């Protein structure tokens, strides 16, 4: 949205006498006052400052130890009744070329769908290239309101594990999109999924869980939101207002699931979705021995608090994993485009002590206008994060 439209909207809000009118008018006033002061106007999206900082820069072409990227998406579900029609965004050969250049031993495709779709991904990638690809299965959300869903879903997990599934992926669908027949949102701790969580424990596969989203996505998309540009680029990522639960409501519902299923191993994706609040994530780690975390699309958060992150990783070094959320050809999400540039940034973050560098291959930091600092992790921890922790979990 151009600033003209923003101003028109702000002015409209004031005229309508809405509750927020006073605050909005104040915003408008301060903007126009600054313009009157003779200062040159500049659209935020046109502001691309070059850092004048002179510091050492290290390019890490290959990771120091072989990598398992535990969080990628080379396919997306077609939501068909039998799971067929999975859409693939890269061939195995395209993926392998990058993997070989960047020392990536294995990619995990978390969105491998179910039934025929799962079989297709598993056969075409995992079985054709042993050790290089792993496909996870997903719940059949579209059937969640059918009678007998709980047992059907638990049985489906058992069937996919028999066919080679090594894990279950839960998208933020649960808690933010999936609805009951009466139109209300299904809660993350809805009991109809209990059999599914238990089936994962019984079959000894981890649940890779993404519920909620960054804290800022639950706040208004306004000039006080540090992820304004990101939300402005992806308005559908905003979970503010409507009937959405609050960020903490979702986290608490998730925590009740973790407590209720202590034998199930949960990997909380995106660092538990609160990489902004490492103190809180540490409390969860202490409270729930059945959880681990992975860093996909959160090095922007972790890397702007490098000292806290380093302390966290030192303490929980056996329960942190390497993931990127990489999507082949994912051009509308620069922090997740599968390719050489993305991996070099992750390696630089983990292995060097470089200062103030971009967390994504993009001219403007896409998740917020800041830069990050390297962690300079020691070899023993690098090995654990790059592959040993996930190898142990998947045995």
103 closest CA partner among 52, 131, 65, 159: 65
Of 13 and 366, the one with the shorter C-beta distance to Zn ion is: 366
Token digits of residue 327:
């999507």
Shortest separation between residue 276's beta carbon and Zn ion, angstroms: 18
Shortest separation between residue 295's beta carbon and Zn ion, angstroms: 12
Q: Which stretch binds Zn ion (CB under 5 A): 26-34, 80-88, 157-165, 321-329?
A: 321-329
Cα 341 vs. chain centroid, distance in angstroms? 18
Residues 6+ apart with CB under 8 A from 50: none
Return the residue nearest Zn ion (CB atom).
325
Of 10 and 108, the one with the shorter C-beta distance to Zn ion is: 108
Of 69 and 325, the one with the shorter C-beta distance to Zn ion is: 325
Residue positions counted in the chain:
395
Shortest separation between residue 251's beta carbon and Zn ion, angstroms: 18
Of 7 and 394, the one with the shorter C-beta distance to Zn ion is: 394
Q: What angle do CA 130, 134, 138 make, to 5 degrees?
A: 150
Of 189 and 325, the one with the shorter C-beta distance to Zn ion is: 325
Distance CA 254, CA 241 (A): 20
Token digits of residue 175:
């808690």
Of 230 and 325, the one with the shorter C-beta distance to Zn ion is: 325
Of 325 and 351, the one with the shorter C-beta distance to Zn ion is: 325
172 closest CA partner among 251, 233, 88: 251
Binding status of residue 69 toward Zn ion by CB under 5 A: no
Of 78 and 195, the one with the shorter C-beta distance to Zn ion is: 78
- Residue by residue, what is the 3-state secondary structure of 120-137? HHHHHHHHCCCCCEEECE
Binding residues among 322-341 for Zn ion as defined by CB under 5 A: 325
DSSP state of 383: H
Q: Is 345 exposed, middle or buried (0-12, 13-18, 19+ CB in 10 A)?
A: buried
Shortest separation between residue 121's beta carbon and Zn ion, angstroms: 15
Of 138 and 325, the one with the shorter C-beta distance to Zn ion is: 325
Side-chain half-sphere exposure of 39, counting CA atoms within 13 A: 10
Shortest separation between residue 41's beta carbon and Zn ion, angstroms: 38
Burial per residue of 111-121, b for 16 or more beta-carbon CB atoms within 10 angstroms, e otherwise: bbbbbebbbbb
* Strands of the chain, DSSP E: 67-72, 75-76, 87-88, 104-109, 133-135, 168-170, 207-209, 266-268, 291-294, 320-321
Distance CA 115, CA 50 (A): 50
Shortest separation between residue 325's beta carbon and Zn ion, angstroms: 4
Shortest separation between residue 241's beta carbon and Zn ion, angstroms: 24
Q: What angle do CA 348, 334, 93 make, to 5 degrees?
A: 80
> Which residues sit at the interface with Zn ion, rule CB under 5 A?
325
């Amino acid at each position: 949205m151009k600033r003209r439209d923003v101003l028109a909207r702000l002015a409209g809000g004031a005229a309508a006498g809405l509750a927020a009118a006073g605050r909005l008018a104040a915003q408008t006033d301060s903007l126009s006052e600054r313009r009157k002061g003779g200062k040159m106007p500049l659209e935020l999206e046109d502001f691309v400052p070059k850092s004048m900082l002179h510091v050492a820069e290290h390019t890490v072409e290959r990771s120091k130890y072989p990598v398992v990227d535990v969080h990628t998406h080379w396919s997306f579900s077609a939501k068909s009744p039998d799971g067929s029609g999975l859409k693939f965004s890269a061939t195995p050969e395209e993926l392998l070329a990058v993997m070989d250049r960047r020392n990536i031993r294995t990619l995990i495709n978390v969105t491998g769908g179910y039934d025929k779709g799962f079989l297709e991904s598993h056969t075409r990638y995992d079985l054709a290239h042993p050790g290089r690809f792993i496909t996870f299965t997903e719940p059949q959300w579209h059937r969640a309101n059918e009678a007998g869903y709980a047992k059907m879903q638990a049985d489906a997990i058992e069937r996919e594990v028999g066919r080679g599934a090594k894990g279950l992926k839960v998208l933020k669908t649960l808690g933010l999109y999936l609805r009951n027949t009466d139109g209300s949102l299904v809660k993350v701790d809805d009991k109809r999924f209990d059999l599914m969580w238990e089936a994962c424990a019984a079959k000894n596969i981890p649940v890779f869980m993404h519920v909620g989203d960054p804290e800022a996505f639950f706040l208004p998309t306004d000039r006080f939101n540090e992820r304004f540009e990101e939300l402005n680029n992806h308005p559908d990522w905003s979970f503010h207002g409507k009937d959405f639960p609050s960020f903490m409501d979702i986290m608490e519902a998730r925590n009740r699931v973790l407590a209720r299923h202590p034998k199930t191993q949960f990997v909380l994706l995106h660092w538990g979705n609160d990489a902004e609040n490492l103190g809180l994530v540490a409390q969860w780690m202490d409270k729930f021995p059945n959880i681990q975390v992975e860093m996909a699309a959160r090095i922007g958060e972790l890397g702007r608090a490098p000292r806290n992150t380093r302390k966290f990783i030192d303490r929980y070094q056996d329960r942190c994993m390497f993931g990127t959320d990489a999507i082949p050809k994912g051009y509308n999400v620069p922090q997740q485009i599968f390719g050489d540039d993305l991996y070099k940034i992750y390696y630089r973050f983990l292995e060097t002590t470089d200062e103030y560098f971009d967390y994504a291959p993009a001219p403007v930091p896409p998740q917020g206008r800041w830069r990050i600092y390297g962690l300079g992790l020691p070899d023993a921890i690098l090995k654990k994060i790059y592959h040993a922790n996930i190898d142990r979990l998947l045995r």
